[in-house]
Every structure is written in structure tokens, then in C-alpha cells.
């Protein structure tokens, strides 16, 4: 489960990683009571990345612009997610941006330090310059320095970056996290470092051991709902089981009920069933993304069956949205390392359309036309662990 940026930064502040003064905004009207001096940066608090590119991070110079920007951000979906909260932060003049992360390498079962001298929004550049150091023995400051030097840093920056890495590592271990990431770590012209963006993935199985994390995660519960002004809300079949491992997405209520029935009859264990809007043939693409995102976050989920009935154009649109969603996941995965991606079984009925699964050799994606076969495969895959690669 990913925390929101402001929550990650609370944990950063506690452990002594430098963060800027900031304030949470739950409504554009609260901007008037902002205590920070302008210029200020307003940031959408959603759990998906790429906010900068999608317009979810805006710099403002005065109250009027800030109110307008806040309104825009509240109504902006990023990969299907709407913010419930914005973070207003002092602006920081970064001369240089670095990328830092601590992740668990699932194969080696060891923490890995990641660092790139080219942090920021250009994921490709970040990746190209990525350095990694496996922490294969008890942690010592040596590991952080080793990373900083591999990143090509010099002088005082080696010390300040390795200190941050050490604190990130402490946090990672203390709270049993899956990921601690800072991108970017801003470096000012006088060499001071500041965590401008933060990401923390909490390990689902470890939450119960950490009261403070439990509390943070509980605040995320209804973070996904779009504002009521937008009529693209996902519907949920009023039925779900905690023990289930198979998520279902359909584009119509009766189709959803029939699918559930068939899955149960075949001894599958559905956990949740989401329905995309019924206003065929216009699909709101963010609904599919949002549905996939929501299901992926559910605890025991292993596989998602997407069962769509529609005309050729509708199915084609679904295929396109699915393709770009998966592409986005792949990019995110290479950027942050290991993450859970469920098996996805796509059944596009009526479209007579081939979804090219070979585009995603590293994911477990299956396009199956025949509904019975699709259900059978989904149930079988749901018994396997979700792919973490």
C-alpha cells in the first residue's frame, strides 16, 4: 500500500530527512488561510506517479492564482485517481535533482540502495544513470557513501547524500517498508539537500505491527472517489468477500452478475466486482484505469478478470486504455523496482479484436475470447502468487 506524499514526508520529518514547511489543503477555500509565504507549490496528493507531467504540481505566486490552481487540481484525475487533499509547500530552488531509493530485492531478499545523479521527471534519464548497491551485510554508512560516489557526487554532497540514504534505510527497516523513495532530492546552489517528493510503500503484512502506519493507511480508505461533480463514478457490485483473490471488472451490471455467478460456480473466489459506466459507447478511460488501480490495492488480490461486452469501437477503446495503463505500470516498475502486478485476464466479447499481449513480456497478461476459458484461466492464475518482478 502506497502512502501519500504528505504522509511519507511526515515520516521523513520524524527521522530527520529534510523536508520543506508545508500545509495540507482539503478545500480550495482554505488557500486563503495559507500560512506559507508565496511563491508556493501546490501538489495533488494521489498515490500514482507522474503528477508533474499531468498538471498535478503547480507553482503559484499569489492567492488568486493559488485558488484557481487548487480548483483545477482537485478536479484533475491522475491515472484515475482524484486527490482528497493537496499539499501546499514552500518553493525550493533546486540547482540539481537527484533520485534516491531503498527497495527490497525480492530475488536476493536483501535491501538495495538505488541512486541516480539525474533525478526528476524524466524517468528515462533517471534510469539511464541509475546506480545500485546491495546491502548484503549489516548496514554501515559505508554503503551510503559507496552509492553517492557511484552516482558521481563530489565534495560535501557525498556526505550529505549518504546521511540521507542512511536515514532512508533506518526508516525502511524500522517500519518494515517495501519502498522508500525520494525523487527528486533537490540540491540548492549552496549544496543544501531537500526531499522535494517522497514515496513510501508499506508492506501489507507488516502494517499490523505498526500502529502509526495503520493510522496513516486508514486515512487512505476513501481517497479514490472522484468529486461528485463528475459523473464518471465507478460502481461496485454490493457484494465482496475479504478472503477472495480474484477481482472482476465489467462494463454492465447484468454482465457483472452473470460473471460473478459463473466464477462462483467454477469454484473461483471473487473478492470484488467493479462496473464501468453504462453509457456505452463512451467509455471514460480513467474508469478502467481507476478500477484496475483500486483492485490492485486490495489485500489478497492475485488476479483481475476484465470481462467486457461491447461493439468493436468500444472494445478497441478498452484495448487502447488497457495498453497504455500496462505500459505505464511497466515504466513505473522499472523506475521503482519490485512491485505487485496481478495477473490480468482480458476478455473482449463482441469486438473480434486481438489484444497484443506480447507487448508486455514481463507481465502476466492473457487475452481470451471465450468466457468459460477466460474464467477458468482467471481462477487458476488467482491461485498463483501475483507477479513481483
Q: Which residues bind Mn ion (CB under 5 A)?
A: 183, 197
Q: Which is nearer to ligand GDP, 181 or 317 (CB)?
A: 181
Query: What secondary structure, in 3-state letters, does the chain show?
Result: CECCHHHHHHHHHHHCCCCCCEEEECCHHHHHHCCCCCCEEEEECCCCCCHHHHCCEEEECCHHHHHHHHHHHHCCCECCECCCCEEEEECCCCCEEEEEEEEEECCCCEEEEEEECCCCCCHHHHHHCEEEEECCCCCCHHHHHHHHHHCCCCCHHHHHHHHHHHHHHHHHHHCCEEEEEEEEEEECCCCCEEECCEEEEECCCCHHHCHHHHHHHHCCCCCCCCCCCCCCCCEECCCCCCCCCEEEEECCHHHHHHHHHHHHHCCCCEEEEEECCCCCCCCCHHHHHHHHHHHHHCCCCCEEEEEEECCHHHHHHHHHHHHHHHHHHHHHHHHHCCCEECEEEEEEECCCCCCCHHHCCCCCEEECCCHHHHHHHHHHHHCCCCEEC
Least distance from C-beta 24 to Mn ion, angstroms?
18
Terminal Cα-to-Cα distance of the chain (whole angstroms)? 17
Examine residue 185 and tell whether it contacts ligand GDP (CB under 6 A).
Answer: no
Given 49, 111, 268, 270, the residue binding ligand GDP (CB under 6 A) = 49
From the list 23-31, 50-58, 62-70, 316-324, the region that binds ligand GDP by CB under 6 A is 50-58
Query: Could you tell me the three cell numbers for 16?
Result: 530527520
Binding mask 291-320 for ligand GDP (x = CB under 6 A): ------------------------------
Q: What are phi and psi of 157, to 5 degrees?
A: -65, -30
The answer to whether residue 38 forms part of the interface with ligand GDP (CB under 6 A) is no
Strand 246-250 vs strand 303-309: parallel, antiparallel, or unpaired?
parallel
Q: Is 329 in the site for ligand GDP (CB under 6 A)?
A: no
Pairwise CA distance, residues 300 & 245, whole Å: 5
41 binds, among ligand GDP, Mn ion, none (CB under 5 to 8 A by kind): ligand GDP
State which of residues 120, 247, 337, 342 lies at the interface with ligand GDP (CB under 6 A). Answer: 120
Contact call for residue 117 and ligand GDP (CB under 6 A): no
Q: Between residues 82 and 99, which has the closer beta carbon with respect to Mn ion? A: 99
Nearer to ligand GDP, 191 or 350 (CB): 191
Binding part of the chain for ligand GDP, among 85-93, 205-213, 217-225, 241-249 by CB under 6 A, reads 85-93
57 near ligand GDP (CB under 6 A): yes
Q: Which is nearer to ligand GDP, 166 or 181 (CB)?
A: 181
Closest listed residue to residue 306, CA positions, set 254, 245, 366, 386: 366
Q: Shortest Cβ contact with ligand GDP: which residue?
A: 52
94 binds, among ligand GDP, Mn ion, none (CB under 5 to 8 A by kind): ligand GDP
- State which of residues 15, 68, 121, 237 lies at the interface with ligand GDP (CB under 6 A): 121
Binds 210, which of ligand GDP, Mn ion, none (CB < 5 to 8 A, cut-off by type)?
Answer: none
Distance of alpha carbon 78 from alpha carbon 55, whole angstroms: 9
Task: Write the binding mask 87 to 106 for ligand GDP: x where contact by CB under 6 A, - elsewhere.
Answer: --x-xxxx--x---------
Nearer to ligand GDP, 97 or 178 (CB): 97
Is 247 near ligand GDP (CB under 6 A)?
no
Asked if 81 is part of the footprint of ligand GDP (rule: CB under 6 A), the reply reads no
By CB under 6 A, tell whether 52 contacts ligand GDP: yes
Distances (CA, A) of 123 to 76, 128, 140, 381: 22, 9, 29, 31
Binding span for ligand GDP by CB under 6 A among 42-50, 61-69, 157-165, 244-252: 42-50
CB of 342 to ligand GDP, least distance (A): 23
Selection from Mn ion, ligand GDP, none that 58 binds (CB < 5 to 8 A by kind) is: none
Nearer to Mn ion, 183 or 259 (CB): 183
- Footprint of ligand GDP (CB under 6 A): 20, 41, 43, 49-52, 57, 89, 91-94, 97, 120-121, 183-184, 196-197
Amino acid at each position: 500500500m502506497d502512502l501519500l506524499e504528505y504522509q511519507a514526508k511526515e515520516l521523513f520529518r520524524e527521522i530527520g530527512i529534510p523536508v520543506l514547511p508545508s500545509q495540507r489543503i482539503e478545500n480550495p477555500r482554505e488557500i486563503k488561510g495559507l500560512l506559507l509565504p508565496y511563491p508556493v507549490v501546490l501538489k495533488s496528493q494521489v498515490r500514482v506517479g507522474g503528477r508533474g507531467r499531468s498538471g498535478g504540481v503547480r507553482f503559484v505566486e499569489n492567492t488568486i492564482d493559488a485558488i484557481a490552481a487548487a480548483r483545477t487540481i482537485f478536479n484533475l484525475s491522475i491515472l484515475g485517481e482524484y486527490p482528497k487533499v493537496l499539499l501546499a509547500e514552500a518553493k525550493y530552488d533546486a540547482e540539481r535533482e537527484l533520485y534516491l531509493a531503498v527497495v527490497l530485492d525480492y530475488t536476493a531478499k536483501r535491501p538495495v540502495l538505488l541512486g541516480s545523479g539525474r533525478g526528476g521527471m524524466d524517468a528515462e534519464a533517471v534510469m539511464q544513470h541509475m546506480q545500485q548497491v546491495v546491502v548484503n551485510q549489516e548496514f554501515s554508512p559505508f554503503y551510503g557513501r559507496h552509492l553517492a560516489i557511484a552516482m558521481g557526487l563530489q565534495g560535501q554532497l557525498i556526505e550529505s547524500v549518504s546521511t540521507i540514504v542512511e536515514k532512508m534505510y533506518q526508516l525502511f527497516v524500522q517500519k518494515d517498508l517495501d519502498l522508500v523513495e525520494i525523487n527528486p532530492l533537490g540540491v540548492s546552489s549552496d549544496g543544501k539537500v531537500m526531499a522535494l517528493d517522497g514515496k513510501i510503500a508499506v508492506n501489507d503484512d507488516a502494517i499490523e505491527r505498526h500502529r502509526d502506519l495503520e493510522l496513516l493507511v486508514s486515512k487512505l480508505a476513501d481517497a479514490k472517489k472522484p468529486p461528485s461533480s463528475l459523473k464518471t463514478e465507478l460502481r461496485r457490485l454490493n457484494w465482496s468477500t475479504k478472503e477472495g483473490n480474484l477481482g472482476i471488472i465489467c462494463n454492465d451490471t447484468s454482465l457483472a452478475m452473470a460473471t460473478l455467478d459463473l466464477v462462483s460456480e467454477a469454484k473461483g473466489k471473487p473478492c470484488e466486482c467493479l462496473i464501468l459506466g453504462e453509457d456505452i459507447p463512451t467509455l471514460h478511460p480513467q474508469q478502467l484505469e481507476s478500477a484496475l488501480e483500486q483492485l490492485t490495492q486490495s489485500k489478497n488480490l492475485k488476479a483481475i478478470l476484465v470481462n467486457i461486452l461491447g461493439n468493436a469501437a468500444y472494445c478497441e477503446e478498452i484495448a487502447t486504455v488497457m495498453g497504455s495503463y500496462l505500459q505505464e505500470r511497466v515504466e513505473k516498475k522499472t523506475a521503482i523496482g519490485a512491485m505487485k502486478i496481478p495477473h490480468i485476464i482480458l476478455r473482449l466479447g463482441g469486438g473480434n479484436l486481438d489484444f497484443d499481449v506480447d507487448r508486455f513480456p514481463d507481465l502476466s497478461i492473457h487475452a481470451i475470447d471465450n468466457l468459460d476459458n477466460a474464467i477458468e484461466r482467471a481462477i487458476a492464475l488467482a491461485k498463483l502468487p501475483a507477479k513481483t518482478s
